[in-house]
Amino acid sequence: MTSIDVRDLTKEYGTRRAVDHLTFSVRPGRVTGFLGPNGAGKSTTMRLVLGLDRPTSGTATLGGRPYGELPEPLRRVGALLDARAAHGSRTARDHLRALAASNRIPLRRVDAILEETGLAAVAGRRVKTYSLGMRQRLGIAAALLGDPEAILLDEPANGLDPEGIVWIRTLLRRLAAEGRTVLVSSHLMNETAVFADHLVILGRGRLLADTPVRDFIHARVRPFVRIRTTDAAALGDLLARHGHDASRDEDGTWTVRHARVDDLGRLMSEAGVPVLELAAQEATLEQAYLDLTAAEAEFTAQPQEA
C-alpha cells in the first residue's frame, strides 16, 4: 500500500518560506482533504511530493520512496495539478494515448478512462475547444490513466457543473473504497465535508490540523437549535426561566446553545408558545475551518507599528 509521507518538509522561494517544517502522512483507503487559505502551501507540497520541485530540506515519499525513484511513476501515482497543462492542439484521445505510450500503459485504458470521465463523446475534439470543466475531467482522466494507488488532485471540482461535482464526489469515494490513497485540495468546505474522511490543514506553510473530519468539526463547533416564533416575549421569558443559553438575531430567529430539539419542543408546547420553526443545526466544516483559521490569524498577527 502506498502512503504519502511528508517529513520535516521545507521549501523556500528566495526569502519566502512556502512550506515550513511540515510533517504528515496520507493513508490509503480514505479521502484526505487538503485545506488552507490561499498561499498556505498546498500546491507547493503537492509539487514536492510529485518531484516537480526540490525541497529546501526534509523529504516527501510515496510508499517510502521519493517520486524520482519510483519505477513507472504514472502507474503508482496520478495527479491533477493544473487543468490547463494538456496540449491544446491535440485531441483528448491523442493526449491520453501519448501519455499511455510514454508510460507503458496499455492503450485500451484510454477508451476506458474516457468513458469513465464522461469524455467519450468529445474525445475527438481538440483540447483548446474544451470548457474548464471538460479540461478538469481530462486532467482527472490523465491522473487515473495508470490505475495508480495514490492520487493527488488540486481543486478537482474547479469549473465542474453541479452534475460534475456529484460525479467527482462519487469518484473520490470509490477510489478510497478501492484502497487507494487520495489527497484532494479544495476551498469548497461543504463539498469537502461530503467526500473527505480525514483532513490535513495548512496555514502559512505549517500544519494546523491532521484529524478525522468528524472530530475536527465536533471539537470546534457545538450544534445548536434554531427557533422562530410569533411571540418573542413569551419565548424569551420561557428560555430564561429554564436557564437556557439563548440569543435572538436581528431577523427574529433565536439560537439556543447546548440544547436538544426534543426538550425545547416539549417546553414550548407545554407553555403554549407558538412555533414557526424549530430545528437542530448541525455544526459545519465551514464553521470549524473558519474558527481555526481566525484563531490562527489572531495568534500570528503582528502588532501594527504606529
Ligand X SMILES: Nc1ncnc2c1ncn2[C@@H]1O[C@H](COP(=O)(O)OP(=O)(O)OP(=O)(O)O)[C@@H](O)[C@H]1O
Shortest distance, position 40 Cβ to ligand X, whole Å: 4
Handedness of CA 18, 40, 3, 175 (dihedral sign): negative
Which CB, 35 or 278, lies closer to ligand X? 35
Residues that bind ligand X (CB under 6 A): 13, 16, 18, 36, 38-44
Shortest distance, position 238 Cβ to ligand X, whole Å: 46
Which CB, 16 or 54, lies closer to ligand X? 16
Distance CA 78, CA 66 (A): 14
Shortest distance, position 80 Cβ to ligand X, whole Å: 13
**Which residue(s) pair with 247 in the sheet?**
255
- Provide the 8-state DSSP code for 197: S
Shortest distance, position 60 Cβ to ligand X, whole Å: 13
Distance CA 25, CA 3 (A): 7
Which CB, 40 or 200, lies closer to ligand X? 40
Which CB, 11 or 30, lies closer to ligand X? 11
Which CB, 25 or 56, lies closer to ligand X? 56
Distance CA 255, CA 194 (A): 25
Shortest distance, position 93 Cβ to ligand X, whole Å: 30
CB-count burial class (<10 Å; 0-12, 13-18, 19+) for 299? exposed
Angle between helices 108-116 and 92-102 (to 10 degrees): 130
